[in-house]
Structure 1
């Protein structure tokens, strides 16, 4: 009895070729390779992910440019499935309204004012080189390169595990099968990542909203449509919500713009954690067995891949997770601390806004939770309140310069023990407030005479679109 074709592509799966007929199998594999081609050459079909994310926002289908799996896909010889989903509400587009001139002007003004308010509360100079008001689709396109960097290491592990599920005897007999399975994995994960990112695009409020530098360096960007939607449940004036989001975005830009090692440090922590993620091969095999080749593609979420990644319970993986959680908490805690100090008595509803944002970051939104389940990576700070208290204590004991001097090198940052007793750490930490920063570590602390001189165009934040 010949080995079955893996992942549900068998004699019962519709109009499928006979595994014993080399000519039919060659044609079948060639068609699948065309359908599941990964243009980027990586483990994820990111072109497909972008198309599906945009379709999720706008409601577009094959006619809107989504011509690959899974939308509207049918196996060779099978009838084309209907493009309308069985449950219209399940695929109801969230919409992607264009940014108006009034909204763009309000965003630019909010970011300009936010940067001004942050000036006395941070030893870090402004990191805003350009400002932008993004639609949801623009956020998606601008941040996709970073998502690729974050997701590819985990995706590669899943695709490798899928390839290993091909029976050994079939690998020797049918060389194209291995590459076909890898392409299938890239298409499946690309489809689900695209849907997850499309949902996330409808939730994020700014480029740095989830604590990572997702957008182009130096570009402070807000999403007016999402800010307006988020503000509806707060019972706070729209201008206050927008300004609070602008303060958070401008604070992120200062941190990642003037701490040269921080971006690499955070991404290295993500990659180290991803490297220790275990791929549940049984879960992959079970998911693949649910594929129905005759209907595959009616719904991008038809084949649910969530839950196939689990952290390895090893000392190395626990250490990697601790480094990632500490890094995310320190970044987010610093942002919360300096923003609340800057807003101070200027925003009447600052207490309500601060608490709402802390809860939001600590819990993560629905789309963020879906993304975490899909790739096994949570991007929310688990110890946000402790980190904020730690930065508060450092400011009280060391001042603004002494606090921000700790960003001069990763070895100076508080560790897990510091979270337990912030006051003790702040009192015993070496006072670095008067040391400034060398060129090796960046330009924190008091700027030099040259740094104090504004370069052309720095008297005010540049207008939207400038770089």
Structure 2
């Protein structure tokens, strides 16, 4: 493990243990009910492949089409994400280790150490572990417990207890809801399986973002302190100027990182919005109660579970995630209405045909740039 000052920067095992200790209990189900949920989710995931590919006209080929679908519990989701974090953050942690000597304030990180960092990461994952219904893991190192696709390919996770919890909370048909969730997540699997360059492009952007990380602990602590003061009411929202309303994630950034984040935000808005568009487009054909599910789910997504939940979403930048679903779906719908599904699919041609953050907000600008069409 990467370490600083003789102490591990991140104690990954402690992160998993902390999350497991703090996470909420799942819904009460019998052993037979649990088996049936797992079996049904697997069936729906398989059925979703054909529905999504027919609707999107996207055709995965070769080994990329064989990424595994795993039905997991909350601890399994945490373990998978810790493995992903460890893989993605490895280069940054190595760089911080090599620059440890002589860095002003570097001793602070040595004192804090990996135990504290592991606990903090575990607390974050415990919060998220009860909220994620499914996830396509783009960077998924394989293990005996959590297999991945060939040649570093991803895997699709379906978090069974969370799906059961939400379907009960919304009081919707459980069989319809499970298929609806699988349609969304299968769309993500299809995106990466049918667009071979997409994974490497996103990974390159993430590594560029991490390479620009300011390694001066004093600067880092100052930015975190500024974020905390803002969230604690140290400044009134109207006095925050350019940084008003930013999450802690956004505040700990350099100008170059903000440029990278803008590009990543556009890509994630596209991917999430496309998945929402597809599951609602396919839905009426195979999910009779899709309109009811969508209405109730949108209300739940927007309101969260209370004031504490809203504060944590703000702190972690999860409000931006909600905007990605909304803005991305609006972009996809507008483009498909204008140039059809095949015309929209030109978005997957290369990184140059991905929409910019500005084009997500103004789909006509993307159509004009890529298709040479204008409203006139």
Is this contact kept in 1: 2:266–2:360, CA < 8 A? no
| Residue 47 of structure 1: aligned partner | 13
Q: What are the within-5 Å matches in structure 2 for residues 311-390 of structure 1?
A: 311-312=252-253, 314=255, 316-357=256-297, 370=312, 373=315, 380=321, 382-390=323-331
Q: For residue 404 of structure 1, report the CA deviation from its aligned partner.
A: 1.7
User: Counterpart of 1:49 in 2: which secondary structure?
Assistant: helix
Classify 1:313/1:101 alpha carbon distance in 2 versus 1 (closer, same or farther; 3 Å).
Answer: closer
Higher share in helix: 2
Asked if residue 205 in structure 1 is aligned to residue 133 in structure 2, the reply is yes
Classify 1:353/1:184 alpha carbon distance in 2 versus 1 (closer, same or farther; 3 Å).
Answer: same
Q: What are the within-5 Å matches in structure 2 for residues 429-448 of structure 1?
A: 429-430=370-371
Of 183, 188, 191, the residue aligned with 2:116 is 188
Cα separation, 2, equivalents of 1:145 and 1:319? 27
Q: For residue 257 of structure 1, report the CA deviation from its aligned partner.
A: 1.9
Is this contact kept in 1: 2:72–2:160, CA < 8 A? yes
| Residue 244 of structure 2: aligned partner | none
> Rg: which structure is higher?
1
User: Counterpart of 2:135 in 1: which secondary structure?
Assistant: coil
Structure 1, unpaired ranges of 5+:
1-32, 58-92, 167-177, 288-305, 432-467
Q: For residue 187 of structure 1, report the CA deviation from its aligned partner.
A: 1.6
Cα separation, 2, equivalents of 1:357 and 1:404? 27
Deviations 1:377-412 (A, max 9, x none): 987153433322221232233332222232121101
Structure 2, unpaired ranges of 5+:
141-147, 229-246
Q: For residue 236 of structure 1, report the CA deviation from its aligned partner.
A: 1.3
TM-score (norm 2): 0.70
Classify 1:196/1:218 alpha carbon distance in 2 versus 1 (closer, same or farther; 3 Å).
Answer: closer
Asked if residue 105 in structure 1 is aligned to residue 39 in structure 2, the reply is yes
Classify 1:272/1:396 alpha carbon distance in 2 versus 1 (closer, same or farther; 3 Å).
Answer: same
User: Counterpart of 1:236 in 2: which secondary structure?
Assistant: coil
Asked if residue 94 in structure 1 is aligned to residue 25 in structure 2, the reply is yes
Is this contact kept in 1: 2:272–2:325, CA < 8 A? yes
| Residue 232 of structure 2: aligned partner | none
Is this contact kept in 2: 1:394–1:403, CA < 8 A? yes
Cα separation, 1, equivalents of 2:276 and 2:249? 34
User: Counterpart of 2:77 in 1: which secondary structure?
Assistant: helix
Larger mean CA deviation between 275-284 and 119-128 belongs to 275-284
Aligned length: 322
Cα separation, 2, equivalents of 1:423 and 1:341? 21
TM-score (norm 1): 0.58
Cα separation, 2, equivalents of 1:359 and 1:326? 24
Classify 1:310/1:412 alpha carbon distance in 2 versus 1 (closer, same or farther; 3 Å).
Answer: same
